[in-house]
A and B are shown apart, each in its own frame.
Chain A
């Protein structure tokens, strides 16, 4: 689809770390001819007001995503494992620090 359009720069997804200690978060996408220019463009488009201390760019075509149609089967294995949550276990109220 997109990549087949003649002469169009490839699409990159942009992730910005807002400040040290936080995860990089997806903020959007942009087109750039190569990785270095993708970084430059990401700086200009997504961090004009000091929104970040670090940027990741990755070719959109390099991302493998789960399909929303598979949602139920893909996540089913964790659906019935309530014992993974601490609240599954009854501890008497008078037991401290638990």
Chain B
């Protein structure tokens, strides 16, 4: 006699109703739950794009590890770039619960079928950029990511919680780096301002196109995947950043930026959306370089992945001879 009754075959409509009920209760959807195909596809796209951004995001800053101005800065930058790798792995792990494989995702990235955040298609021209990326780019990422901790898909939200905990170090190290430079020479202050000038507009673009040109936003919000619109988050970021810029002593390169007493928020200019779409389409300063670098790392690592598998599946003959020499009690010569 079966202990567990056979589950009744539910109609699509019943399944959909139950899914909607979970969403409306602001409960979480978990990997083994039934979900509409479009919801699954939206999440795969968003989580994968987010994972790719973390991985590609290692490149602009990683380029400066070998040229860090002190051992302290080098250790910090290494730790930060390691975190980006970790964040990518958390997110790939979340994406996989939706039924895609990590390898597929990597192949989609290097063949250009999936995107990553356009911000990483801009070059890092000076060490000040390491600070600016921490302050502005990670600051914008935090604005985006904090609400995503409550996104409707459980594994994505849990990955975001983990990431947000670590992200605060990223922003603070960047701001501290810039503060240090601002206390330095005129030349160093000019480097900071120049860097902020280059990264301000691309940072605003990180929130995506304006709400009236973001066709997926309404549906993502109805599903609880997104909880705020692009423009809401962009506004929040500007309002948070203005006093930080003032404390730092830099000017944000927007002549329209002004406090609006009535709204209780800053008015600000629009980024160049033509440039945004152009970079999304692959024509940014570093698109080709970023993907080529990722592809090279993937191709160059193929033998390692294969060798590790072969070793794990191995017959042990190589291992046993290694082990016997390792456990030998005899003295070792240098």
Contacts and interface: CB of A to CB of B under 8 A. Distances in A.
Interface string A18-54: 0000000001111101100100000011001100000
A6 to B, nearest CB: 8
17 contacts: A7-B103, A9-B309, A28-B94, A29-B93, A30-B89, A30-B93, A33-B305, A33-B309, A34-B308, A34-B311, A37-B308, A37-B312, A48-B79, A49-B166, A65-B32, A68-B32, A68-B33
B305 A9 contact: yes
Interface string B157-174: 011001000100000000
A1 interface: yes
A7 B96 contact: no
B312 A28 contact: no
A58 to B, nearest CB: 14
Interface of A: 1-2, 5, 7-9, 11, 27-31, 33-34, 37, 44-45, 48-49, 65, 67-70, 73-74
Contacts of A29: 93, 96-97
A73 B104 contact: no
Given A7-B309, A48-B79, 8 more contacts: A2-B101, A8-B101, A29-B96, A29-B97, A67-B32, A68-B33, A70-B4, A74-B4
B297 to A, nearest CB: 16
B267 interface: no
* Chain A facing B: main interface SS: mixed
Interface string B77-116: 0010011001001100110110101111000000000000
* Chain B facing A: main interface SS: helix
A5 B107 CA distance: 12
Interface of B: 4-5, 7, 10, 30, 32-34, 79, 82-83, 86, 89-90, 93-94, 96-97, 99, 101-104, 155, 158-159, 162, 166, 305-306, 308-309, 311-312
B101 A34 contact: no
Given A30-B93, A68-B30, A5 B104 contact: yes
Given A7-B306, A33-B308, A49-B166, A1 B5 contact: no
B93 A28 contact: yes
A20 B81 CA distance: 30
A74 B4 CA distance: 6
Closest 7 CB pairs of A and B: A33-B308, A34-B312, A33-B312, A73-B5, A69-B7, A28-B93, A29-B93
A5 B103 contact: yes
A1 B7 CA distance: 24
Contacts of B102: 8, 31
A56 B143 CA distance: 33
